[in-house]
């Protein structure tokens, strides 16, 4: 998530401001020409770019703007992803994709919410952002089409891994109801050899259900194997100085973890400092200070879930595989005593490790004391 980008433009220019409130069947457009100008509302069918063009032309006439004047638009990131952004940019419209969670709402009482109200509020905020006001909202960094497509491999593997675990847990639960256990080694037809609490074969209905579940498990496992091969091939094709090749050179960083880090934006989000990187990860400490009151509320859970899970796993592994690194020595010196301290320290190590991996992937700065794999 990138910070709001300031614009040097002025609202005194002949700019048409447009916000899009997206729905599955209909888009609501709020259009304005600047501060103090009441927005007009137009509705078009979802994906009807001809209708959007007609609405823009009518708005230019309404606000007495030149027909070839610039258009600035925005919409909230959501189900439709970024194809609408790309379509707007292709039509010469300067678009911004807004993080909906960064938009302030009134909390005093229940508030009225309609697409019309939301669209008007969004276009008013767009005018403020265009005038250079900071902190109005946060904008989503839009990946390239190739980068967005590449994320499907990593995310599909995560989904399949979760599905595989779910299938194993299901089979274990079904067997537990009969006083049986799931074999560690499961060869073809293993369910016919399992015995219940009385030493009798499993009921035919249970065996058939286990057979179908095992078939699904085999299919998922085969798909995971295929995706693993795809990721390994991507590593072989990557340039020696690319972020992917650099990450897998570190001992303790495997292909799957490196692919996940890059897919979630370690490089393509173009971070400029470690604070922006920490904002994507979350795990930031939350202080509460008011008057004489001061307390620690733990860490923020805001952030990328997949990145958080990956970094916690890498932090545990980093201590084992990189015992001589500066990060491991810092972790052991500060959190080495007590199980709870090590658990809390792993989250802190994950934050520092992500910054170190970012510097290595983008700038070639090896984490202090880290060991690279043999070529």
> Are residues 359 and 251 located together in one domain of the fold?
yes
Query: How sure is the predictor about 114, in pLDDT bands with cuts at 50, 70 and 90?
Result: confident
> Are residues 114 and 159 located together in one domain of the fold?
no
- Domain membership of residue 78 (yes or no) is yes
Predicted pLDDT of residue 7: 45
The CATH number covering residue 100 comes to 3.30.420
Q: Taking residues 171-200, what's their average pLDDT?
A: 95
The pLDDT tens digits of the residues spanning 42-80 come to: 999 999 999 999 999 999 999 999 998 999 999 999 999
Domain boundary pick from 216, 237, 258: 237
Determine the straight-line distance between the first and last CA of the chain, rounded to whole angstroms.
Answer: 36
> Are residues 99 and 32 located together in one domain of the fold?
yes
Q: Is 359 within 8 Å of 327 (Cβ atoms)? A: no
Predicted pLDDT of residue 344: 85
pTM assigned to the model: 0.82
CA atoms within 13 A on the CB side of 355: 15
> Are residues 54 and 94 located together in one domain of the fold?
yes
- Domain membership of residue 11 (yes or no) is no
- Domain membership of residue 266 (yes or no) is yes
Domain boundary pick from 130, 156, 188: 130
CA atoms within 13 A on the CB side of 260: 24
Calculate the alpha carbon distances from 6 to 20, 39, 128, 131, 207 in Å. Answer: 21, 23, 10, 8, 64
Predicted pLDDT of residue 262: 94
Question: What phi, psi does 40 have (nearest 5°)?
Answer: -105, 155
Q: Is 233 within 8 Å of 205 (Cβ atoms)? A: no
Task: Return d(Cα 46, Cα 38) in angstroms, integer.
Answer: 24
> Are residues 149 and 124 located together in one domain of the fold?
no
Predicted pLDDT of residue 1: 43
> Are residues 223 and 251 located together in one domain of the fold?
no
> Are residues 287 and 354 located together in one domain of the fold?
yes
Average pLDDT, the chain: 91
> Are residues 258 and 222 located together in one domain of the fold?
no
The pLDDT tens digits of the residues spanning 296-317 come to: 777 777 788 899 999 999 999 9
- Domain membership of residue 4 (yes or no) is no
Domain count, the chain: 3
- Domain membership of residue 267 (yes or no) is yes
Q: CA nearest 258: which of 248, 271, 270?
A: 248
- Domain membership of residue 137 (yes or no) is no
> Are residues 150 and 124 located together in one domain of the fold?
no
Identify the domain containing residue 111 by its residue range.
Answer: 16-130
> Are residues 218 and 261 located together in one domain of the fold?
no
Domain boundary pick from 130, 162, 180: 130
> Are residues 207 and 252 located together in one domain of the fold?
no
- For the chain, helix (H) and strand (E) counts, in that order, are 11, 7
> Are residues 56 and 113 located together in one domain of the fold?
yes
Predicted pLDDT of residue 338: 83
- Domain membership of residue 138 (yes or no) is no
Query: How sure is the predictor about 18, in pLDDT bands with cuts at 50, 70 and 90?
Result: very high
- Domain membership of residue 48 (yes or no) is yes
Residues 6+ apart with CB under 8 A from 35: 11, 127, 131
């Amino acid at each position: 998530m990138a910070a709001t980008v300031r614009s040097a433009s002025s609202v005194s220019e002949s700019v048409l401001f447009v916000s899009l409130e997206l729905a599955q069947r209909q888009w609501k457009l709020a259009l304005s020409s600047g501060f103090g100008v009441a927005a007009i509302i137009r509705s078009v069918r979802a994906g009807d770019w001809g209708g959007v063009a007609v609405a823009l032309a009518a708005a230019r006439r309404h606000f007495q703007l030149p027909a070839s004047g610039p258009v600035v638009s925005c919409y909230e990131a959501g189900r439709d992803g970024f194809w609408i952004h790309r379509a707007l940019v292709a039509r010469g419209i300067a678009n911004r994709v807004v993080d909906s969670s960064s938009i302030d709402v009134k909390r005093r009482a229940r508030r009225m919410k309609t697409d019309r109200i939301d669209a008007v509020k969004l276009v008013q905020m767009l005018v403020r952002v265009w005038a250079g006001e900071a902190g109005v909202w946060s904008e989503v960094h839009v990946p390239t089409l190739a980068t967005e497509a590449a994320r499907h491999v990593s995310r599909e593997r995560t989904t399949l891994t979760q599905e595989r675990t779910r299938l194993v847990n299901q089979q274990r639960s079904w067997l537990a109801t009969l006083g049986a256990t799931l074999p560690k080694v499961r060869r073809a037809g293993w369910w016919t050899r399992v015995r219940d609490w009385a030493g009798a074969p499993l009921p035919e209905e249970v065996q058939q259900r286990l057979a179908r579940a095992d078939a699904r498990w085999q299919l998922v496992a085969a798909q995971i194997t295929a995706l693993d091969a795809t990721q390994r091939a991507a590593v072989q094709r990557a340039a020696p100085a690319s972020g992917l090749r650099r990450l897998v050179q570190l001992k303790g960083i495997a292909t799957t973890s490196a692919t996940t880090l890059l897919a979630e934006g370690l490089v393509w989000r173009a971070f400029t400092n470690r604070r922006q990187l920490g904002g994507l990860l979350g795990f930031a400490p939350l202080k509460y200070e008011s008057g004489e009151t001061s307390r620690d509320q733990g860490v923020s859970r805001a952030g990328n879930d997949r990145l958080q899970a990956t970094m916690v796993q890498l932090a545990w592994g980093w201590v084992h595989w990189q015992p001589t690194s500066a990060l491991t020595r810092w972790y052991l010196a500060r959190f080495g005593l007590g199980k709870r301290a090590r658990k809390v320290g792993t989250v802190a190590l994950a934050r520092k490790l992500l910054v170190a991996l970012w510097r290595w992937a983008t700038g070639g700065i090896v984490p202090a004391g880290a060991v690279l794999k043999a070529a």
